[in-house]
Amino acid sequence: MMYRYLTLNDGTEVVHSDMMPDGRVKVLFERPDERDGFHDATCYLPDYSWEDVSGFSKADMKRNERLLKEVAHIIIELSQEGGFDNASGF
């Protein structure tokens, strides 16, 4: 299951999975693009391993990683609570 976390000003959606049995959380960045369809990138927390990066520029990826480092602790907590809508105390 994937849960929406936030939408950035440029239309990039940030979604995350439930915590997987190995303790990792999949975070997906997706942005619609008229020419390419979608730009996307996948990151696994807590080790910040990126894969399947398509369409995002180096500047976009720096922004994505900086943002993720600021909110990773929240996403990891939400991944154990069933996403933002199901978390208590948020």
**Taking the C-alpha atoms of 51, 2, 81 and 41 in order, what is their torsion angle to the nearest 10 degrees?**
20
Report the chain's C-alpha Rg in angstroms. Answer: 13
The CA distance from 90 to 88, in Å, is 6
Give every CB contact of residue 73 below 8 A, 6+ residues apart in sequence: none
Specify the pLDDT at position 70. 97
Three-state DSSP class for residue 9: coil
Q: What total of structural domains would you count in the chain?
A: 1
Asked if residue 63 belongs to a domain, the reply is: yes
Asked if residue 90 belongs to a domain, the reply is: no
Q: How many C-beta atoms lie closer than 10 Å to residue 37's C-beta?
A: 10
Asked if residue 72 belongs to a domain, the reply is: yes
Give the structural domain span for 66: 2-82
Asked if residue 88 belongs to a domain, the reply is: no
Asked if residue 87 belongs to a domain, the reply is: no
pTM of the model: 0.87
- pLDDT, tens only, 15-53: 999 999 999 999 999 999 888 889 999 999 999 999 999
